[in-house]
Amino acid sequence: MTIQFLSTKIYIPPPRPKIVARTGLFVQLNDALNRKLTLVSAPAGFGKTTLVSEWIATCERSAAWLSLDEGDNDPARFISYMIVALQTIKASIGKDLLASLQSHQPPPIEVVLTALLNEIAVIPNDFILVLDDYHLMDAKPVDDVLTFLIEHQPPHMHLVITTREDPSLSIPRLRARNQLTEIRAADLRFTSSEAAEFLNQVMGLDLTADEVTALETRTEGWIAGLQLAALSMKGQEDVHGFIQAFAGDHRYIVDYLVEEVLRLQPEPVRDFLLQTSILERMNGPLCDAVTAQTGSKSKLEQLQRGNLFLVPLDDKREWCRYHHLFADVLRMHLTTEQPNQVPVLHNRASEWYEQNGLTADAIRHALSAENFERAANLIERAVPEARRNRQETQLLGWLKAIPDETLQHRPVLSVNYAGTLLQTGQLDGVEKRLQQAERWLDKEIHERPIYVDKEEFQRLPSSVAMYRAAIALAQGDVANSINHARKVLELAHEDEDLSRGAASSLLGLAFWTNGDLETAYQMFADGMTHLQKVGFISDVIGGSITLADIRITQGRLREAMGIYERGLKLATKQGAPALRGAADMHVGMSGLYLERNELQTAEQYLLKSKELGELNGLPKNPYRWRVAMARLREVQGDLESALNLLDEAESLYMGDFSPNVHPISALKARVWIKQGKLEKALAWARERKLSVEEEPGYLREFEQITFVRILLSQCQNDHTDSLLHGAIGHLERLLKAAEESGRNGSAIEILVLQTLAYQMQEDIPAALSALDRALKLAEPEGYMRIFLDEGSSMAELIREANARGSAPNYTRRLLSAFEAERKGIGEETPLSASPASSSLIEPLSQRELDILRLFKTELSGPEIAQELVIALSTVRTHTKSIYSKLNVNSRRAAVKKAIELGLIQP
């Protein structure tokens, strides 16, 4: 997955042998190195690029160069090219960053920028970054990137911007802080002596002082003007007459002089100049194709020697371009003199670019030629790769340039238009494009559709259905989403993994939303298998969260852990940079460790997730991380921090197609209950319109259970029988609904609340019977916190249960955890409670257990070290200790023994 980076954009124009030495300006530029930014801001033709490139050649600092063009208005591309430019200074810079910018789910720009600054910090020496032609940037996001960069610029970096208009930066502030050097038109224009030096020495004319003054006055020291004047005089018979005529004329200098220059050129050269003016960059073969002649390479060399405004773009003398100003005037002459030629020339350029595999340029010229059929064909062929490489901005730009009447006949293009809009979150125009595509599915239609991608055309019915399913789900229309997604599965071939994968996952999400968890799981898992086959690894890793969430609701914590472990393995394949989603897996695992009451491990996983950084996290990780950390703080009794974290999480919340079954507001209500702030919790319940009369429903289940918690807490304070009665009835209905749909996770919590409710009613047999059911469901999955969180009244009942012999091992473990909690130890040491541990002379430490658990995976030693954020040597020390404590001498034997002893799960 790589965008083609043009090396011509990062090529520093080389110094020219003959040139006016601008010593004064060089001194200014050198002084400027102490400040952050040098702004070279002046109109076209003032020699900005020449000045900076000549200066860089004399300067001892290393420099990176980026020539901007309109395409760089996409901030991701702007930053990507900046990285590519910086790689000319330090080759290893930003490799992972580039990859993640081109991945399926690029990280948010702020994250990328922070990472970029970290990379820049690693460059060992002072350096200069030049952004040439910044006036071509007119997108606010790019200005924001620049502002951020300048704001946080490390001291060893100096930025130079050349532009025809002042950029949208807070220039007064930079001035006030003495962080800015400005070189403007007045500094750049040639003085009389520079004009004389230029005309007589550099251009080899032999002019008198008066003649030089006349030219300098007429051009006002404008370098492009002087250069054109010099070119016009070469080959003039009456130089003096020419100067007099020019000086006495009011015409726009460029008009006047280019006409002179063109008049002096032999006809073939003149034609060549005009015809090639449509090109943004040129080389011999391309010019041959456009002019339908041969020998362009030598013509270009000849022009370069004649100083005809040619700018080299690489050091192989292959690519070059005209000075923009000169090109504009040439193009104007072309359009007025040979208007019919213009589309012909663009078509030729388009064909050449197509043959040479440069699709974007081929499309650009086809659009300029207004050859929309050709452009449409090219775009249609470019679509799959452009969408894979996340170039939707560019793709949308092309598609918008195609008129509707052309699109009308192009079903494949229309459906891809819809998909691209959907991908960029622009739901509005999608339906129109789908209808445009769907028209062709009508058997009655007599016209013929136009397409180049036959397979894609055959897939049309399933593609249309797929996008419909996605829109329906986004709009909360689950039934329709299921219908459309099913249709995709009916229509798509067995080997169409992308369609099948996407449709199955959508179905899974739809069933999840409906509360049919088992079907949801199967469908979604099936979808992930297909997506993995076609290499959509990031999506598969992200899908682990969905699968684990479903399993947790079903009360299958061990499977959830396995899902996260597999996800993590996918995200951290050996030898490759960690993929996005690695951080998310750690957050998920942390939650599971927390439920097991392994709080230290839970915290380590959260810290590790943080350490991996946001670059390795999916968009929803920032809020999920805070929710997980809030839960940990809550369990640790730091309720204020928990609330703060939940507030932050709320502001970072990112919805997706998954149902929001654990709303953050409900999590906050639960903390308020613990704080005794029942008023706040009740206000939340009123706002959410919760009542004991409400029918149980999966989407509201978490909130309904939270509501019962509020009621029970109220009852405890004022012993209202009717309230308690209502709560018990509600719990009964909630339990029935949860059990019927196999939501064991929810059922355990409901049973725990029932236990407490009956206890309040002083109906101990009923309380113990509910508790017994909860223990049976919870024991095999290692639940701990669900009981521990309820404190002493629960401890009392569990003691009773233990005395009556229900789940003896489990209740014993719970009791010792309660005991540890009461004493303020906080965390249960798993081994002290585990009956099997008695057969070990020396119990394993928590860390050794962590390592043992990872022994069971296929992670290598270094990977285990990375996983636990410890040194490899530490892993080795622990390993030795594990072997000796278990009396084994291999990893496999250690795992086997540990399972036998019940230290780790099989």
Counting every residue written for the chain, the total comes to 906
Q: Tell me how far, at minimum, the Cβ of 250 lies from another protein, in Å.
A: 4
Q: Residue 224: which of 42, 16, 45, 51 has the closest Cα?
A: 45
Provide the CA 184 distance to its chain's centre, in angstroms.
Answer: 38
Q: Report residue 17 as tokens.
A: 């042998």
Q: Residue 73: which of 7, 8, 143 has the closest Cα?
A: 143
Q: Tell me how far, at minimum, the Cβ of 25 lies from another protein, in Å.
A: 19
* Residue whose CB is less far from another protein, 224 or 375: 224
C-beta of residue 367 within 8 angstroms of C-beta of residue 399: no
562 vs 737: CA distance, rounded Å = 27
Q: Tell me how far, at minimum, the Cβ of 168 lies from another protein, in Å.
A: 14
* Residue whose CB is less far from another protein, 72 or 549: 72
Q: Which residues pair with 452 in a beta bridge?
A: none
Q: How many CB atoms lie within 10 A of CB 372?
A: 18
Q: Site residues (CB under 8 A) for another protein?
A: 43-46, 135, 164-165, 222, 224, 249-255, 324-325, 328-329, 332-333, 335-336
C-beta of residue 399 within 8 angstroms of C-beta of residue 420: yes
Q: Report residue 159 as tokens.
A: 């930025």
Q: Tell me how far, at minimum, the Cβ of 223 lies from another protein, in Å.
A: 10
Q: Report residue 629 as tokens.
A: 């950390």
Q: Tell me how far, at minimum, the Cβ of 50 lies from another protein, in Å.
A: 15
* Residue whose CB is less far from another protein, 164 or 812: 164
Q: Tell me how far, at minimum, the Cβ of 44 lies from another protein, in Å.
A: 4
* Residue whose CB is less far from another protein, 259 or 516: 259
Q: Tell me how far, at minimum, the Cβ of 45 lies from another protein, in Å.
A: 5
* Residue whose CB is less far from another protein, 259 or 694: 259
* Spatial strand order in the sheet of 127-132: 62-67, 127-132, 157-163, 37-41, 180-184
Q: Residue 281: which of 382, 228, 353, 355 has the closest Cα?
A: 353
- Sign of CA pseudo-dihedral 116, 117, 120, 124: negative
Q: Tell me how far, at minimum, the Cβ of 165 lies from another protein, in Å.
A: 7
816 vs 699: CA distance, rounded Å = 36
Residue 491: how many CA atoms within 13 Å on its side-chain side?
Answer: 20
What DSSP character marks residue 831? H
* Residue whose CB is less far from another protein, 314 or 328: 328
Q: Report residue 758 as tokens.
A: 């009956």
* Residue whose CB is less far from another protein, 252 or 832: 252
* Residue whose CB is less far from another protein, 342 or 520: 342
* Residue whose CB is less far from another protein, 317 or 331: 331
The runs of H, that is alpha helices, within 515-556 are 517-533, 537-553
* Residue whose CB is less far from another protein, 155 or 339: 339
Q: Tell me how far, at minimum, the Cβ of 176 lies from another protein, in Å.
A: 27
* Residue whose CB is less far from another protein, 42 or 537: 42
C-beta of residue 421 within 8 angstroms of C-beta of residue 413: no
Q: Tell me how far, at minimum, the Cβ of 252 lies from another protein, in Å.
A: 4
Task: For residue 621, give the amino acid letter.
Answer: N
Q: Report residue 85 as tokens.
A: 């430019």
* Residue whose CB is less far from another protein, 224 or 797: 224
C-beta of residue 478 within 8 angstroms of C-beta of residue 470: no
Q: Tell me how far, at minimum, the Cβ of 230 lies from another protein, in Å.
A: 17
Q: Tell me how far, at minimum, the Cβ of 260 lies from another protein, in Å.
A: 13
* Residue whose CB is less far from another protein, 40 or 750: 40
Burial of 115 (0-12, 13-18, 19+ CB in 10 A): buried
Q: Which residues pair with 310 in a beta bridge?
A: 322
Q: Residue 221: which of 40, 20, 23, 52 has the closest Cα?
A: 20
398 vs 387: CA distance, rounded Å = 13
* Residue whose CB is less far from another protein, 183 or 786: 183
Burial of 805 (0-12, 13-18, 19+ CB in 10 A): exposed
Q: Tell me how far, at minimum, the Cβ of 46 lies from another protein, in Å.
A: 8
512 vs 450: CA distance, rounded Å = 40
Q: Tell me how far, at minimum, the Cβ of 53 lies from another protein, in Å.
A: 19
Q: Which residues pair with 180 in a beta bridge?
A: 37
Q: Which residue has the tokens 């019919």?
A: 340
